[in-house]
Amino acid sequence: MENLKSKAVLLIFALFVFYAGCQNKDKSEQLTSPQQTTNYEEREMTKKDAPTTLSKQTSEMQQTDKVSGSITEQGTEIKDVTKRMIIKTGTMGIEVDKYDDAALKVNEIVKKYGGYVSNTTSSQNSSGKKQGTLTLKVPADKYESLVAETGTLGKVMTQNINANDVTEQYVDLEARLKTQKELEQRLIKLLAEKTARLTDVVEVEQKLAAVRQVIESIDGKMRYMRNQSEMSTLTLSLYEPAILTTSSGGGFFYELGQSVKKGLRGFTDILAGMITVFIALLPVIILIVIIYWIIRRIIKKRKQQKSE
């Protein structure tokens, strides 16, 4: 009897342990199941919202670009600028004895300082004097020497030298270029993602093309600034001195020559007119001469007959 009681107690205890184990298992399944469901839903939501996220990211990148651009436009402090970017330009007018000789000398001076003549124009005025304009390009550090030596070619009549500091503009362009390149890389990264819809991919490609156009434009401006700051420009005008002028504005000898030319032109015009009239009347003159010769011959014969 006691053995039966002890067996019954052991059986009840075993059932209790088994029941407790089942309860713990159900609780653990309930705890893990919502987490798995949540993870699955998050993955599904990520797939559905991928295009929306793509558009949001591109718009956020544009906002970032606008903000960075506005900060630089407001005039941030220029940092890490070890060399100022100065664009030097100038004009000079020099009166020289002979234009051709002075122009050759200018070419020698420019080559001496490692520069070149980018453009040349010349003409002759009403007084027969020659004048012209030369555009000179030389390294910025040789600009002052070029101006000084060029001034020795003759009498300097006009001179204007300008120095424009474009360092701040260059730094601003540099910051904008960096921002645009970062935007370009982020757009390329977005294109590499395979979760976007076709319409969103097309939109990103269009934005990427626009960003690259901006990059090319900024890079071109920066390259132009570098070239202009590295090679300074001098526009040089050379002209021969004017001779003695009269009230009409021309030179004395020039006016005398013009008068002689006009006289000769008038004489030749009269002579040409006379020749033209003579040629026109030549047939009539020939006819008159023939008639005169016939009449004279007839009269001569009659006189001879009477004398006989």
**Residue 114 pLDDT level (bands cut at 50, 70, 90):** very high
Cα dist. 210→61, 135, 214, 219, 222 in Å?
13, 37, 6, 14, 19
Other Cβ atoms within 10 Å of 61 Cβ, number: 19
Token match 């007018």: residue?
Answer: 93
SS3 for the chain, per residue?
Answer: CHHHHHHHHHHHHHHHHHHHHHHHHHHHHHHHHHHHHHHHHHHHHHHHHHHHHHHHHHHHHHHHHHHHHHHHHCCCCCCCCCCCCEEEEEEEEEECCCHHHHHHHHHHHHHHCCCEEEEEEEEECCCCCEEEEEEEEEEHHHHHHHHHHHHHHCEEEEEEEEEEECHHHHHHHHHHHHHHHHHHHHHHHHHHCCCCCHHHHHHHHHHHHHHHHHHHHHHHHHHHHHHHHHEEEEEEEEECCCCCECCCCCEHHHHHHHHHHHHHHHHHHHHHHHHHHHHHHHHHHHHHHHHHHHHHHHHHHHHHHHHC
Please, what is the average pLDDT of the chain? Answer: 76
pTM confidence score: 0.49
- pLDDT for the residue numbered 180: 92
226 contact partners, CB below 8 Å, separation of at least 6: 85
Mean pLDDT of 141-162: 93
Cα gap 264→94, rounded to integer Å:
38
The answer to whether 237 and 133 are in contact (CB under 8 A) is yes
Confidence of residue 27 (pLDDT cuts 50, 70, 90): very low
Q: Please write the tens of the pLDDT for every residue from 53-64.
A: 445 554 554 554
Q: What is the pLDDT of residue 253?
A: 65
Structure tokens at 25: 């298992």
| Mean pLDDT value across residues 250-268 | 76
Q: What is the mean pLDDT of residues 257-273?
A: 85
Predicted confidence band of residue 67 (pLDDT cuts 50, 70, 90): very low
Kindly state the average pLDDT of the residues 35-55.
42
86, β-bridge pairs: 165
Strands across the sheet containing 231-239: 116-124, 130-139, 231-239, 86-95, 155-165
Contact 140, 158 (CB under 8 A): no
Cβ atoms of 254 and 146 within 8 Å: the answer is no
Query: Using CA atoms, how far apart are residues 94 and 238, in angstroms rounded to an integer?
Result: 5
The predicted-structure confidence for 227-257, as pLDDT tens digits, reads as follows 888 999 999 999 998 765 544 555 566 677 7
| b/e per residue 136-171 (b: at least 16 CB within 10 A) | bbbebebbeebbebbeebbeeeeeeeeeeebebebb
Radius of gyration of the chain (CA): 51
